[in-house]
Structures are given as C-alpha cells and as structure tokens.
Amino acid sequence: MNVVLLEPSEVDAHGQATLEGRRAAHVASVLRKAPGDALSVGLVGGRIGEATVVSSTKTTLVLRDCSFDRAPAPKRPITVVLALPRPPVFRRLLQHLTALGVERLVLLHTKRVEKSYWMSPALEPEAIDAQIRLGLEQAVDTVPLLVERARGFKAFVQDRLGALAEGARLLVAHPGAHPPCPADVQGRVVVLIGPEGGFIPYEVDRLCEAGAEPVSLGSRVLRVETATVALLGRLGDRA
C-alpha cells in the first residue's frame, strides 16, 4: 500500500480522519508508522497528498492535517478488451490493469470463455471495487478503472467496437506469425486479449474486418495474465 485511500466522507472539516480495519492494520503492521510520521493519502476519485499520524494500532488509525494538493498520475488512454478469464486470474488482472494505469476494461464473451465465469462472485461490483482499490493503493492512484461487460461477441463487434476504437489504434493480441506488437505507441489504443484457449479463427477474422491489427508478443504462447502485462509494458507510457 503506497497510498492510503480515503472516502471524502472519512475526512472531517479539520482534516482529521479515523480509520479502522484493513488500512489501519496495514499502516501499523507493514508500514510501521508511529505518531508524528507522515503518510501518503489520497481521496477516492480525487487528489493525493499527505497526512500526519496521530496514533496507529492494528485496529485504529487516526490522522490529522490531511491535505490533498496534487493530482495523481494521469490514466493511460488504453482500453483493454479482455475475454473473461477464470475468476482468480480476473481478480489479479483487475489489480494489474489498475496499477498500470489502464483507463477502461471491457469484459468480453467469446467462444472459448466458460459461461459459468459470468456467474462468479468475482464479478460482483463490491468484489471488483475491492481489487481495483488494491491496484490504486499500489500505484498511488485514486481514479478507479472503468469496467464494462459485453456478453455477446457479434453484438460487441457490430455495435460497440466502432465507437470504442474511433481515433484509436486497434490491436488484437494473437499468437502466430503476425507483426510484433508496436512499442511506445502514442495516443489512444484499444487492445483485445483472448481467453486461455485463444480466439477462434472466426473471431479473429471479424475483428480484423473491423479494423484490428493482429499483433504478436513473440514465439512463446503466454498465459492471459502474462500476455496482458507484457503487452501493456510494450505499448509504453504514452499510450
């Protein structure tokens, strides 16, 4: 946790806040803050700054002089369209995508996505928020990743992909003899990542007809999680 995120309602008019639970436990046990120490804080959806620790125990953290004087790092203009992965992978990816500054995530159903994944508790809004919060705390950010769903592949390509990709570079990560994923792209990017079993040829064809460029991450076939992080690293900070 590199920033303690506070809800606006948790900070009183005098800049004081009292927190209980996970954040208090982390500050006491991992960050080992003592009275008088400075602590990095941020307002959910808002600015970041510093506070001073008044007291810190494993159950309760009291802060004073909470000030929020600067904006967090801007989001990268990247939309990831991800074939819905297994729930444990999905949970971890929410953290990775958030920490890497991705603006928007669209969860997509494709032929090789297990239908039961859509029923997972990992997709409950509170569960999604909890993972995003961990990613924000890691990367000193306050603005949550936007998460959307597209349950039908055909409808997504026909009705939504055009608007999503307008003014953006549209890439589909697909193992094979394709050009390498571009490095250090500038401007908006929409990137599609397939399920563990991959996109079927029909899906790749439809995406390419819609303007997507198939790109490779090398000759090794990577797990979804590895491919996603490798791809975002390769696109660079300006995408």
Q: Does 90 bind ligand SAM (CB under 6 A)?
A: no
Query: DSSP characters for the chain?
Result: --SEEE-GGGS-TTS-EEEESHHHHHHHHTS---TT-EEEEEETTS-EEEEEEEEE-SSEEEEEEEEEEEPPPPPEEEEEEEE---HHHHHHHHHHHHHTTEEEEEEE--TTS-GGGGG-GGGSHHHHHHHHHHHHHHHT--SPPEEEEE--HHHIIIIIHHHHHTTSEEEEE-SSS-PBPPSS--S-EEEEE--TT---HHHHHHHHHTTPEEEB--SSPPPHHHHHHHHHHHH-TT-
User: Is residue 173 close enough to count as binding ligand SAM by CB under 6 A?
Assistant: yes
Instruction: Work out which of 47, 216, 234, 236 binds ligand SAM, going by CB under 6 A.
Output: 216
Q: Name beta bridge partners: 230.
A: none
Which of these ranges, 57-65, 120-128, 162-170, 219-227, lies near ligand SAM under the rule CB under 6 A? Answer: 219-227
Q: Is the CB of 68 or the CB of 117 nearer to ligand SAM?
A: 117
| Paired strand residues for 191 | 80, 171
* Residue 183 in the binding site for ligand SAM (CB under 6 A): no
Separation between Cα atoms, residue 69 and residue 138, nearest integer Å? 19
- Residue 153 touching ligand SAM (CB under 6 A): no
Binding span for ligand SAM by CB under 6 A among 2-10, 33-41, 137-145, 218-226? 218-226
How many residues lie near ligand SAM (CB under 6 A)?
Answer: 18
198 touches ligand SAM by CB under 6 A: yes
Are the beta carbons of 45 and 142 closer than 8 angstroms? yes
55, 130, 222, 234: residue in contact with ligand SAM (rule CB under 6 A): 222
Which window, 68-76, 114-122, 149-157, 213-221, contacts ligand SAM (CB under 6 A)? 213-221
Radius of gyration of the chain (CA): 20
147 versus 173: smaller Cβ distance to ligand SAM: 173
CB of 143 closer than 8 Å to CB of 175 = no
Q: Using the rule CB under 6 A, give the single segment among 44-52, 88-96, 139-147, 211-219 that binds ligand SAM.
A: 211-219
Q: Which of 193, 212, 229, 239 binds ligand SAM (CB under 6 A)?
A: 193
Q: Given candidates 49, 84, 194, 229, which one binds ligand SAM under the rule CB under 6 A?
A: 194
Query: Does 190 contact ligand SAM by CB under 6 A?
Result: no
Q: Does residue 217 bind ligand SAM (CB under 6 A)?
A: yes
Rounded to a whole number of angstroms, the minimum distance from the CB of residue 149 to ligand SAM is: 18
Interface residues with ligand SAM (CB under 6 A) are 173-175, 193-194, 196-199, 216-218, 220-224, 227
